[in-house]
Structure 1
Amino acid sequence: MEIDNYKRKRAMKAAYLVLDLQNDLVHEDGPNGKGPLGEQVRSRDILANTSRAMAKARAAAVPIVFVRVGFSPDYRECSSTSPMFSGIRKAGLLKLGTWGTEIHPSLDKRDADVLVTKHRVSPFYGTSLEVLLRAWAVDRLILSGVSTSAVVQATVREAHDRDYTCTVLEDGCAAASAGEHAASIEILRRFAEVQTSDSLAF
Structure 2
Amino acid sequence: MSIADSLAAQPVLRTPRLTLVQHGPEYLDEVMAALQDAEAMKLTGTRTEFTREQVLAHLERLVGADERADFAILDESGAYLGEVVLNDLDDDNLAMNYRIGLVASGVRGQGFGTEAGRAVVEWAFDTVGIHRISLDVFSFNPGAQRSYEKIGFVVEGRARDTMLWDGEWVDSILMSMLATDPRP
Please give the TM-score of this superposition, normalised by the length of structure 1. 0.32
Of Structure 1 and Structure 2, the greater strand share is in 2
Please give the TM-score of this superposition, normalised by the length of structure 2. 0.34
Of Structure 1 and Structure 2, the greater helix share is in 1
